[in-house]
């Protein structure tokens, strides 16, 4: 997986911009679904676009808003999306290993940029363990 689908509202715009730069420096292709400035906008619209694209491509997405909560609520309304709001690296690792998380949600107003970039790196590099965890995912 070398293409990352990403979106934010105005509350997550600055952190999204830092994440895009960080990922491109590492050679990832990044598709940015907006927003494209800090003008007030609606997070459910962006969450829907990224969620649909993750489902269509069987890809991985990142959504950022002020808290990460609105984005995670909105993205998890889509069947097949497992969006995980993470504010620490342990959760980022575990949600890949056990939940096969396909969207990472972050809160710009909650999590500092340095920690957020570490969370992104760990979330992208950690593999799903499968096995009993796959059975559980299939129950959702």
Q: Does 7 help bind ligand RB5 (rule: CB under 6 A)?
A: no
Q: Does 61 help bind ligand RB5 (rule: CB under 6 A)?
A: no
Which tokens in the block code for residue 82? 């497992």
DSSP-assigned beta bridge partners for residue 84: 104
Backbone angles phi, psi at 63, to 5 degrees: -125, 135
Least separation, in Å, of the C-beta of 39 and ligand RB5? 12
Give the binding range for ligand RB5 (CB under 6 A) out of 15-23, 59-67, 95-103, 128-136. Answer: 59-67
Residues belonging to the chain: 140
Q: Does 67 help bind ligand RB5 (rule: CB under 6 A)?
A: yes
Q: Does 76 help bind ligand RB5 (rule: CB under 6 A)?
A: no
Q: Of these, 11, 47, 96, 111, which contacts ligand RB5 (CB under 6 A)? A: 11
- Cα–Cα distance measured from residue 46 to residue 69, given in angstroms and rounded to the nearest whole number: 14
* Matching residue, tokens 């003008």: 39
């Amino acid at each position: 997986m070398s293409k990352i689908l990403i979106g934010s509202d105005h509350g997550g715009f600055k952190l999204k911009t830092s994440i895009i730069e960080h990922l491109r420096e590492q050679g990832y292709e990044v598709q940015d679904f907006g927003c494209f400035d800090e003008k007030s906008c609606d997070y459910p619209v962006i969450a829907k676009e990224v969620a649909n694209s993750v489902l269509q491509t069987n890809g991985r997405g990142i959504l950022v808003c002020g808290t990460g909560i609105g984005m995670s609520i909105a993205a998890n309304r889509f069947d097949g999306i497992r969006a995980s709001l993470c504010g620490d690296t342990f959760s980022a690792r575990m949600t890949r290993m056990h939940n096969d998380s396909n969207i990472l949600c972050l809160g710009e107003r909650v999590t500092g940029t340095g920690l957020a970039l570490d969370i992104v790196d760990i979330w992208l590099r950690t593999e799903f363990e499968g096995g009993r965890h796959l059975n559980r995912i299939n129950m959702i």
